[in-house]
């Protein structure tokens, strides 16, 4: 399997988060989940997408630490390596 790039993960995460309601223009690396009105259940769904697409398993403890979109992207990329 070829290596996953940060750009690929970023676009998939943004696309998934946008499906939960926030406008895609609001979603950037520095945006917090709180600002975007992304709740814990949305993050569970994001974790499922990440698991299905990249085989990266994110646990509840991982998700609790995440505050910004950038942190989520970096965590997924680091786990996928």
Partner 1 sequence: MPEPSTRPEGCALVTGASRGIGAAIAKSLARDGWPVAVNYRSDGDGAAAVVAEIEQAGGRAVPLAADVADPGAADELFVGAEAHFGVPVLGLVNNAGISADNLISMLGEEEWQSVLATNLTGAFRLTRRALKPMMRARFGRIVNISSVVGLRANPGQANYAAAKAGLIAMTKTVTVEVARRGITANAVAPGWIDTDMTAGLESGLTANIPARRAGTPEEVAACVSFLASDAAGYVNGAVLTVDGGLAA
Q: Which residues are catalytic?
A: 39
Among the residue ranges 26-34, 44-52, 56-64, 65-73, the one whose residues contact partner 1 (CB under 8 A): 44-52
| 41 binds partner 1, rule: CB under 8 A | yes
Candidates 5, 28, 32, 48; binder of partner 1 (CB under 8 A) is 48
Choose between 45 and 74: whose C-beta lies nearer to partner 1.
45
Helix axes 6-18, 69-80, angle to 10 degrees: 130
66 exposure class (CB count in 10 Å sphere: 0-12, 13-18, 19+): buried
């Amino acid at each position: 399997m070829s290596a996953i790039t940060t750009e690929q993960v970023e676009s998939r995460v943004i696309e998934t988060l946008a499906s939960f309601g926030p406008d895609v223009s609001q979603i950037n690396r520095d945006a917090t989940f709180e600002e975007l009105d992304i709740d814990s259940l949305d993050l569970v769904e994001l974790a499922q997408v990440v698991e299905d697409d990249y085989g990266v398993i994110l646990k509840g403890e991982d998700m609790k630490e995440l505050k910004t979109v950038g942190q989520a992207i970096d965590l997924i990329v680091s786990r996928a390596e």
